[in-house]
Amino acid sequence: MAKAQYEIETLQHCIFWAKYDHGTKSCLPLVLHSLDVAMVFRALTELPGIRRALDVSSERPLNPTILDRLAFLVMLHDIGKANLGFQRKPWTGEKVGHIRELAPLFTTHELHQQFIQHMPEEMSHWFSSGEVAYSYFMAVFSHHGTPLRFEDETTGVSLRAPRYWNPEGSWDPFQGIAEVVSAGQEMFPCAFRSLREDDQLPESAPFQHRFAGLTMLADWIGSNPDWFPIRRMSVEERHKQNQKIIPEILRVIGLDVRHLTPLVKGLQSFEKAFALKPRPLQKALEDLPPDDASRLLIVESDTGSGKTEAALHWFLRLFSEGKVDSLYFALPTRVAAHEIYRRVHDTVCRWFPSPERRPLVILAVPGYPSMAPEERALPSSSKAQLSPDDEAIVWRERVWAEEHPKRFLAAPIAVGTVDQAILSTIQTAHAHLRSSLLDRSLLVVDEVHASDRYMSVLLKHLVEHHLSVGGYVLLMSATLGSRTRHLLVPKLPRKTLEEAIQSPYPAYTLGSGRMVGAHLADMRSKTVQFELHPWAENPRPAVEVVKEAVEEGARVLVIFNTVARSVHFFRMLEENHVPFLFTCRGIATPHHGRYAPETRLLLDREVTRSMGKESPCGPCILVGTQTLEQSLDIDADLMITDLAPADVLLQRIGRLHRHDRNRPPRYEKPRCLVLIPKDPLESALDDKGDVLSKYKKMGLGSVYEDLRVLELTIRTLKSQPRVQIPKDNRFLVESTTHEEALASLDSPRWTQHGRRVDGAELAKAIAAGMVTIPYDQYFGAFSFQDQAERVMTRLGVRALRLRMQQPFQGPFGETVREMIIPGHMAPRERVEEMAFLEQREDFALLQAGERRYRYSRLGLAAEGEEDGDEDSQSFG
């Protein structure tokens, strides 16, 4: 048979297809794929957490008629594939999509009239206005992750697309649409029985955004060929098959957890859940009823006081009562997420001893393996046969911070980074999918700090959005400044500096503005002696302090604000032959965020083994960055730290005398040495209030932008160097961040700097507001510009995740298969892989695009730069 004749007959056999397998030359008819996705969607609407979000956002309970109408609309999600350009694509190779190609059906009069004529007449009663109808169609057609807007289309696609909708011989694209419509009428008859105005689809714009997210989710699930095979059958057969398999699929993924909630009914009390007597804060939360008043909770308690267990117990109670279907535990960093994940996983295993009847616990951090099989979460892009028409989307998915969690969040319990949750409210691809998955969850955000306005505003948007669909939010912090607390809970009355200092601690704050304190007298306390030393520019004297300490048997933790400073100090210790440096597999190394995932896992485990709760006694020196101040279970006898805001210092000293253990003589009491500049901090400012560059290299004015907070931290610690934790936590934070305290710095330079910072914070607040999704606007009525790269860069967490073309041996003998490159070090051009060039004496030479890198025990560094010297603004 001639090739052309074969292709014509194959096309005749497949038209109209939705999925095509090039290997077997088999196809899945468009009508069957449409049914698959619509039935998945309809099943999703019956899940408690999703249904709650739909009901709340629609402002009325939804009945079966409305839900079936929504499912019918979902049947139409892929009708763009009926265009003949797309249908011929396997044989012509022409790059024709099915999303932008829908534009002529709405912008060309003749084609629009044909499209309307092929819709069921009853649909005219479904919508309260043409604007609402258009919004629903745009929402369902936006299932590839980016909201559509067809008005004023002048792209090359829009100019070519009309001809794809014209019939050719016996092939009429509108016949493909008619087949889908007819099947939808047959499969969802309830949608067409009522003409009542009460059964119209909700006008609410937020509801339509929820609808769009669920359509994306349904398409992701319904596109998996393992679950929905690519083969021809009748609509009736497919419907019958789907009725059997879809409920099981939703249970396997972890979206349907109704069978699990009865298993934890007997663990309502904290003592039963953890086999421990609750601490004061844990007891206070145990007595709190889970109702509308407690849907927003801010929990403030000292590091190591059991906030994590309190949060898990709060989730357990909400889960057992059916108020949430899932948990997303958000941490500020990947290493913090990894450490908490292990604790969460172990706890869930105790609650659900049978592996066959246990909710999936996912680590939503690329590069860090979960303790559960990944394949039980949503399928990957390739497995789901999702092929975005926009190649830029494929590239953006190479950025680690934008990839996996959009499918991992389907798990009943996921632990990841806070930026992944924030991306559910940012104008970025698949934000609606993330949001629809988060809707089901108790959202826990740990280690919320008052230091960054941009993050605070984005977090506020996230919290408000989650609460708007009836969700539950729990925010945790060692101590949250009253400014940030008021930003997150506007109903809180503003307090003077003295009133703020006197606020109860530890405490929890309800969304209503009520603050409830726990019993401080019952809490473990420690008194820390702060010593301020003018060694920030030249930390050489600190080398002698460290050397003396380890010679006396002490364990020393040294934390710097930047990777460059930590590496520099580590080298100083080596050059001065200071013994007992932390080692990994016998090799001395610092600890920061610029390591490959495989290396980082190894380092984290070794840190816990060397300086964790169960570690043996004996001297050790651990040098690093902010990676050491969060979540890692480290217990040091002595701490040396760069100057940082008081709330950050509180976080750091949480690793100082963390556990009860024997200490060397002279180190029985906790001491923290803070490295400050030798000159008054005001001299770091020019006449315009800008920070001089040499101070920014120390992280002063860069990592921590507001020098006023740092100056007040110095003054506060000078006036009260002995600090009792947690009794003085409020005093430290409010004395350095409260408006009254900031206003006390009234010299010309401080005033100018304050104006700069306040102006920058206002600009950040405005910028944060501009990148969020306008959930109150209809689809088609707003422009959507992908803001993920801008947001991730501003948050300092953007990084490029590349697989290695050839795995190589890392500095500690581990096999490195992928590398994470910080955004500011990434190549300018787009690359898919990183090349291993050669192994030299003490480092591996790598290349990505036009840039070369050295990878050693000191981490990743760009060639030509000193290890770690590239970023004065990196959070490590």
- pLDDT tens profile 483-512: 888 888 888 888 999 999 999 888 899 998
CA torsion angle for 100, 102, 108, 112 (degrees, to 10)? -160
pLDDT of res. 197: 85
For a pLDDT cut of 90, what percent of the chain falls above it?
56
Contact by Cβ (8 Å): 199, 63: yes
Least confident among 43-47, 66-70, 385-389, 710-714: 385-389
Dihedral of the alpha carbons of 840, 846, 852, 856, in degrees to the nearest 10: -60
pLDDT of residue 1: 36
Torsion angle of the four alpha carbons 198, 199, 204, 208, in this order, in degrees rounded to the nearest 10: 180
Instruction: Give how far Cα 543 sits from Cα of 531, 569, 572, 573, 621, Å.
Output: 16, 8, 7, 6, 11
- Smallest Cα–Cα separation from 319: which of 311, 114, 120, 153? 311
Which tokens sit at 353?
Answer: 């001893």
Q: What's the pLDDT score for residue 640?
A: 98
Whole-number pLDDT of residue 451: 53
pLDDT of residue 392: 43
Asked if the model's pLDDT at residue 458 lies above 80, the reply is: yes
Token code pair at residue 246? 């879809």
Which tokens go with 69? 């109408």
Distance CA 777, CA 171 (A): 38
* Rounded distance between C-alpha atoms, residue 350 and residue 341, angstroms: 14
- DSSP β-ladder status, 526-533 and 671-675: parallel
Distance CA 299, CA 517 (A): 10
End-to-end CA distance of the chain: 64
Residue 344 Cα distances to 282, 370, 638, 701, 855, angstroms: 16, 12, 29, 36, 32
Determine the pLDDT at residue 448.
Answer: 85
Of 606, 593, 601, 599, residue with least CA distance to 815: 599
pLDDT bin (cut points 50, 70, 90) of residue 338 is confident
User: Are the C-beta atoms of 377 and 408 separated by less than 8 Å?
Assistant: yes
User: Where does the pLDDT of residue 152 fall: very low under 50, low under 70, confident under 90, or very high at 90 and above?
Assistant: low
pLDDT at 524: 74
Residue written as token pair 């290349």: 847
Residue 672 and residue 649 in contact, taking contact as beta carbons nearer than 8 Å: yes
Q: What is the pLDDT of residue 401?
A: 30
Stretch (H or E) spanning 793: helix 788-795
Evaluate whether 411 touches 294 at the Cβ level (below 8 Å): no
Confidence of residue 874 (pLDDT cuts 50, 70, 90): very low
Lowest mean pLDDT among 51-55, 142-146, 759-763: 759-763
Residue owning tokens 């217990």: 635
Residues 6+ apart with CB under 8 A from 470: 52, 53, 55, 56, 295
pLDDT for 826: 85
| Count of positions (residues) in the chain | 876
pLDDT tens for 180-237 read 999 999 999 999 988 888 899 999 999 999 999 999 999 989 998 888 999 889 999 9
CA–CA separation, 62 vs 71, rounded Å? 13
Q: What is the pLDDT of residues 278-306, one digit of tens each?
A: 888 888 888 899 888 899 999 998 877 78
* Degrees, nearest 5: CA angle 845-846-852: 95
| DSSP 3-state of 540 | helix
Average pLDDT over residues 714-724: 97
**pLDDT for 772-822, tens place per residue?**
888 999 998 887 776 666 665 555 556 778 889 999 999 999 999 999 888
Report the distance separating Cα 450 and Cα 568, nearest Å: 29
Cα-Cα-Cα-Cα dihedral of 154, 155, 158, 160, to 10°?
A: 120
Q: What is the predicted pLDDT for the residue at 393?
A: 40
Contacts of 608 (CB under 8 A, 6+ apart): 615, 632, 633, 634
DSSP-derived letter for residue 149 is -
Sign of CA dihedral 455, 456, 460, 463: positive
Question: How far is 101 from 80, CA to CA, in rounded Å?
Answer: 7
CA distance readout (Å), 728 to 173, 673, 723:
72, 18, 6
Average pLDDT, the chain: 87
Structure token digits, residue 623:
């040098």
Position 487 scores a pLDDT of 85
CB 523 within 8 A of CB 317: no
Burial of residue 353 (number of CB atoms within 10 Å: 0-12, 13-18, 19+): exposed
pLDDT of residue 795: 57
In the structure encoding, which two tokens stand for residue 77, read together?
């999600």
- Contact, 193 vs 126, CB < 8 A? no
At residue 794, the pLDDT reads: 55
As to burial, measured by CB atoms within 10 angstroms (0-12 exposed, 13-18 middle, 19+ buried), residue 701 is: buried
Report the alpha-carbon distance of residue 479 to residue 500 in Å, rounded. 12
Give the CA diameter of the chain: 94
How far apart (Å, rounded) are the C-alpha atoms in residues 671 and 555?
A: 12
Per residue in 201-217, is it b (16+ CB within 10 Å) or e — as a string? Answer: bbbbbbbbbbbbbbbbb
Residue 449 pLDDT exceeds 80: no
Kindly state the tokens that stand for 516. Answer: 């409830």
* pLDDT, position 872: 39
Please report, as a single letter, which amino acid is at residue 311.
A
136 pLDDT band (50/70/90 cuts)?
A: very high
For residues 651-672, give the mean pLDDT: 93
483: left (phi over 0), alpha (psi -120 to 50) or beta: alpha
C-alpha–C-alpha distance, residues 472 and 457, integer Å: 19
Three-class DSSP labels, 167-223:
CECCECHHHHHHHHHHHHHHHCHHHHCCCCHHHCCCCCHHHHHHHHHHHHHHHHHHC
Residue with tokens 């002995």: 722
Tokens of 464: 């408000």
Q: What is the pLDDT of residues 363-418, one digit of tens each?
A: 887 666 665 544 445 655 555 554 444 444 433 333 323 345 566 788 899 998 88
* Statement: the pTM of the whole predicted model exceeds 0.85: yes
Give the HSE-up count for residue 506: Cα atoms under 13 Å, Cβ half-sphere: 31
Percent of the chain with pLDDT strictly greater than 70: 88
Amino acid at 844: A
Query: Hey, what amino acid is at 91?
Result: W
Identify the pLDDT of residue 568.
97
Can you give 708-743 as a three-state secondary structure string? HHHHHHHHHHHHCCEEEECCCHHHHHHHHHCHHHHH
User: For residues 562 and 625, is the Cβ–Cβ distance under 8 A?
Assistant: yes
